[in-house]
């Protein structure tokens, strides 16, 4: 990708020199515009590299059933590598923490909280690069 952008900048530069002649004023004008074109080309290269990173599947987690009495499943999608699943209460206290080594694109993790008080809890799934948090309502 980079070589095509650089080749395009060279072609545009040569076309500009041909159209304007090669006197000192046009050369100075060309040099100023060449810096602008180089900045635009560099931006295009960065944008193209970031676009390839954007093709990474969005990470998500689905908690079911919701509401629950304390036992539920977390279906994680788009996470790879070592994944951590954490359940916290509204005060931030950790009630459940499990590491899943070498997770694949789609995994299901069973969570069983032993008699948790009724209320709203947060299920956070993270692999260090991507993080998602879902709410779960625990009922009695």
pLDDT the model gives residue 10: 53
**What confidence tens digit (pLDDT) does each residue in 10-47 have?**
555 555 545 556 555 554 544 444 444 444 444 444 44
In the sheet that 71-77 helps form, which strands lie side by side, from edge to edge? 60-64, 71-77, 106-112
Give the closest residue to 19 by CA, choosing from 11, 50, 1.
11
Measured CA to CA, the distance from residue 99 to residue 26 in angstroms comes to 64
**What confidence tens digit (pLDDT) does each residue in 104-139 have?**
778 889 999 988 999 999 999 999 889 999 999 999
> Contact, 61 vs 83, CB < 8 A?
no
Give the closest residue to 57 by CA, choosing from 130, 127, 133.
130
Give the closest residue to 124 by CA, choosing from 92, 24, 107, 19.
92
Give the closest residue to 122 by CA, choosing from 93, 87, 95, 74.
87
pLDDT the model gives residue 118: 93
**What confidence tens digit (pLDDT) does each residue in 43-71 have?**
444 444 444 444 455 788 999 999 999 99
Domain boundaries, the chain: 2-54, 60-138
Architecture of domain 60-138: Sandwich (2.60)
- Tell me the DSSP string of 84-107: EEEEE-TT--EEEEEEEEEE-SEE
């Amino acid at each position: 990708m980079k070589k095509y952008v650089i080749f395009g900048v060279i072609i545009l530069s040569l076309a500009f020199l041909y159209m304007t002649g090669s006197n000192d004023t046009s050369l100075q004008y060309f040099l100023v515009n060449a810096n602008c074109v180089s900045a635009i080309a560099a931006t295009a290269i960065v944008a193209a590299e970031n676009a390839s990173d954007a093709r990474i599947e969005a990470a998500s987690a689905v908690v079911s059933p919701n509401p629950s009495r304390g036992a539920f499943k977390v279906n994680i999608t788009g996470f790879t590598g070592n994944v951590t699943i954490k359940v916290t209460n509204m005060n931030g206290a950790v009630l459940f923490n499990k590491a899943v080594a070498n997770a694949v694109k789609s995994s299901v993790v069973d969570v069983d909280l032993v008699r948790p008080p009724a209320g709203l809890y947060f299920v956070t799934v993270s692999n260090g690069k991507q993080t998602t948090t879902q709410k779960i309502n625990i009922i009695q």
